[in-house]
Structure 1
Amino acid sequence: MSEYKKNSINLPGAVGLGTGVMISAGIFALLGQVAAMSGIWFPIIFIVGCIVTGFSAYSYTKMSEKYPSAGGIGMYLVKAYGKGTIAASAAMLMALSMVINQSLVARTFGTYTLQLFDVDTTTSIFVPLLGVGLLIFAFIVNISGNSFIQTFTSSASLVKIIGLLIFAIAGLWVADFALEPADIGNNPPNPDAINYVAAVALTILAFKGFTTITNSGSEITKPKKNVGRAIVISILISLAVYVVLAWAVSANLSINEIIKAQDYALAEAARPAFGDLGVWFTVIIAIIATITGIIASVFAVSRMLAMLTNMELIPHKHFGMPGSIQKHTLVYTIVIAMVLTIFFDLSRIASMGAILYLVMDMMIHWGVFKHLRKDVGANPFIVMSAFIIDGIVLLAFVWVKWLNDPLIVLVSIGTTLLVFISLYFFLKKKQLAERKMNN
């Protein structure tokens, strides 16, 4: 596996990494779930999610301009909180949310691929099996080096974006470009205000792929300029794709049909407009999108974990494996993602990822506001606004999930507590050992 190499990722490559993650899980796995929570107004929720993400991205951009690092978010947290439990735990939550995203993308790959066959994806063992196969492929690609990764993800990202736009424009053309909400169908959902706010959490998850760029900061050419540019460009490209696709889906399916097929809503939307040919086209684009998403996400999270390990903020075991720490963290990333892919469905994977990410995101904003706003030249109003908005969205999402699926809320809370407690004792033990050596 390649070591960190400065100037090994150019601006298009960085944008490719960001859009590679966002446009994979974001639209294919989450569109139906957003519709289930927000009803006919789900395309608007993606716009709201982009605005919220814009506030959040401000803190990351200011940090990356001041401290470009291959450790990305891990390094930012250390700058804000020092080498302690808070920084280590928040960074681990981010890493876990990224690994959860990988399992989300992997199961999406399996779900869409099986649309080519007469298979019930809700019970089929082939969904997790195909997902695991994709993760193995991502591992092989990631040991091939940065130049191949950025070339592959950038080229494939361009192909899938063009393909999705063709699908969206064709779907809107069939519907005479009717700019109106989806047909409500029979017994439609009747979301209240808190459901609309909670739905924003899933759209934030759809946009959070921009953090992939920050985790490769020191490897990007002219990072003080290009990291921020890559973040803005990738978010805007993703927003354009999301909104047009959501509009196309709402024009061809009723809201009940979207919810029923929420794990494969795009493929289902292609059926009434274009028949089986449209389904094949959509599935092929989904396969390309999920492949690039997995590769880009694994690329980023393995480097982030390696940085945290080198900073001695998290424990590390070789388990007899040869090679560098980066290679070991790549293996850990893939293995954890495989376990999640096998045992969790798309809805629960997305929910857990959203909760862990929002907790970490709030810690980033608080750290910048409290400790670094002058150092990085951040506007305190924007940073604090991002913190408050995240908190509102998180509380709404947890409340809605508690009413409908309390288990995933308990698992998310338990995971968060486990991370903080285990790293607290790890760092305390490390400090005691260092004191004994010094004495």
Structure 2
Amino acid sequence: MSDYKENSLSLTGAVGLGTGVMISAGIFALLGQIAALAGTWFPVMFIVGGIVTGFSAYSYIKMSNEYPSAGGIGMFLAKAYGQGTITASAAMLMAISMVINQSLVARTFGTYTLQIFGMDATSYLVPVLAVGLLLFAFLVNISGNSFIQTFTSIVSLLKILGLVTFAMGGLWVAGFSITPAEGSGGTEDATIASIIAAVALTILSFKGFTTITNSGSEIVNPNKNVGRAIVISISISLFVYLLVAWAVSSNLPLDQIIAAKDYSLAEAARPAFGDYGVWFTVAIAIIATVSGIIASVFAVSRMLAMLTDMKLIPHKHFGMPGRIQKHTLVYTIVLAMVLAVIFDLSRIASVGAILYLVMDMIVHWGVFRHLRDKVDAKPWILITALILDGIVLTAFVWVKLMNDWLIVAVSLIFIIVIFVGEYVFLKNRDDGGEAHADHH
């Protein structure tokens, strides 16, 4: 059995977990990639991404109000589709996208840490540092909910204050001139497709709000506080993203932002504050990525444990002692380590965005088709969320097919393997021991 503790997370703790996941790789690693796709007005993409995320969050808030669960999205899907292939596969897409995000955050930690020593972001030390951070996250996560929520809440506050300080300083140096980054003849002009595709990465930087839904039954007064925590977390993150994006845009020309895509914040601090600014930015990045990893691992391990309890995914103990939740924690960390070693930042982010958007559309359709009356959801909001996701996903896949088709191929392989694997597993499982969606 898994180990869930009701009322072990406060509203503040839930917000800390949400912002802990969101304000990490989302702003540190993705800023340059978003600029490469959207061009000089890339900060605006965060507003668009925030709007799309707001529509998307509606389904999760409505479901959380009705079915608060430590399994979060896994439980929502079970309510909408039953305990079959669609539920299991979509939940696994979510879990894998979260693990991919963990590897993204871990590599971001390595990339920024090396800036202190003036080392290249392609150094072999990047995956080494990433693996070390993931190991640290494992040790923190086995220490219990109370320590986790206290740690992530404090660290989230520190990094938000740090990023706001960085942004205000950068805007002050630029005379608080909110102007787009200067273009360059060496950069490609953004197209409508690439601009829409950029929204996919901004959505990825907001998707940490799902961390809150995956801790639903552990939050105090979850029927109200899950929704509140989601809204507060998205609002805080959007404010911080906009402030930082405009600061970077005001201090670096577009070609330099794109060239330093994996560590653009550190590079933007250099002209404004010199080496001290770089060190300050790196310190914030380290704080942000550490809290992001811990919060994400916390959420995905609980989601996998819930899916195991529901007998929707296979589970092997491999001789490990303890509860299922601890086992899924180990699986989460190991997979994230492997991905952090194999893939670079841009490819990790792209695959994660595709898997997440596919899963998100499945959730919206499930709520619209089967549960909108039960959870008192407005159909037009659900359909709008579905359409927006579809537009963004189509544009993103199109751009990646033109520039890096391997990303699309890897994402498609992930999706096919997950759906086929779940179909085979569920077809051959022992139904006599099947758990039920209402188990928790």
Shift of 1:433: 7.3
What is the correspondence of 1:9-408 to structure 2 with a 5 Å cutoff?
9-122=9-122, 124-408=123-407
Contact 2:2/2:309 (8 A) holds in 1: no
SS in structure 1 opposite 2:42?
helix
Contact 1:157/1:289 (8 A) holds in 2: yes
Q: Which runs of 5+ in 1 are unaligned?
A: none
Measured in 2, the distance between the counterparts of 1:302 and 1:409 equals 26
| TM-score in terms of structure 2 length | 0.97
SS in structure 2 opposite 1:69?
coil
Map of 1:4 onto structure 2:
4
Shift of 1:241: 0.3
Shift of 1:119: 1.2
Measured in 2, the distance between the counterparts of 1:138 and 1:63 equals 29
Contact 1:77/1:367 (8 A) holds in 2: yes
Shift of 1:204: 0.3
Shift of 1:182: 0.6
Contact 1:2/1:143 (8 A) holds in 2: no
Tell me the amino acid that sits aligned with residue 264 of structure 2: A
Higher mean C-alpha displacement, 187-196 vs 223-232: 187-196
Assess, with a 3 A threshold, how the Cα gap between structure 1 residues 429 and 202 changes in structure 2: closer, same or farther: same
Tell me the amino acid that sits aligned with residue 426 of structure 1: F
Shift of 1:3: 2.2
Measured in 2, the distance between the counterparts of 1:191 and 1:183 equals 14
Measured in 2, the distance between the counterparts of 1:343 and 1:430 equals 32
Deviation string 1:364-391 (CA, Å, 9 cap, x unpaired) is 0000000000000000000011011101
Shift of 1:432: 7.0
Higher mean C-alpha displacement, 408-417 vs 1-10: 1-10
Shift of 1:179: 1.2
Contact 2:2/2:324 (8 A) holds in 1: no
Deviation string 1:342-381 (CA, Å, 9 cap, x unpaired) is 0000000000000000000000000000000000000000
| TM-score in terms of structure 1 length | 0.98
Measured in 2, the distance between the counterparts of 1:50 and 1:89 equals 27
Tell me the amino acid that sits aligned with residue 110 of structure 2: G
Tell me the amino acid that sits aligned with residue 212 of structure 2: I
Deviation string 1:176-209 (CA, Å, 9 cap, x unpaired) is 0011111113323201101111110000000000
SS in structure 2 opposite 1:374?
coil
Shift of 1:431: 5.2
User: Does the alignment pair 1:419 with 2:423?
Assistant: no
Q: Which has the higher helix share?
A: 1
SS in structure 2 opposite 1:322?
coil
Contact 2:267/2:278 (8 A) holds in 1: yes
SS in structure 1 opposite 2:414?
helix
Measured in 2, the distance between the counterparts of 1:129 and 1:394 equals 32
Assess, with a 3 A threshold, how the Cα gap between structure 1 residues 406 and 37 changes in structure 2: closer, same or farther: same
Q: Which runs of 5+ in 2 are unaligned?
A: 435-440
Tell me the amino acid that sits aligned with residue 256 of structure 2: E
SS in structure 2 opposite 1:376?
coil
Tell me the amino acid that sits aligned with residue 54 of structure 1: G
SS in structure 1 opposite 2:356?
helix
Measured in 2, the distance between the counterparts of 1:47 and 1:434 equals 47
Tell me the amino acid that sits aligned with residue 217 of structure 2: S
Contact 1:56/1:386 (8 A) holds in 2: yes
Tell me the amino acid that sits aligned with residue 330 of structure 1: L
Measured in 2, the distance between the counterparts of 1:363 and 1:278 equals 43
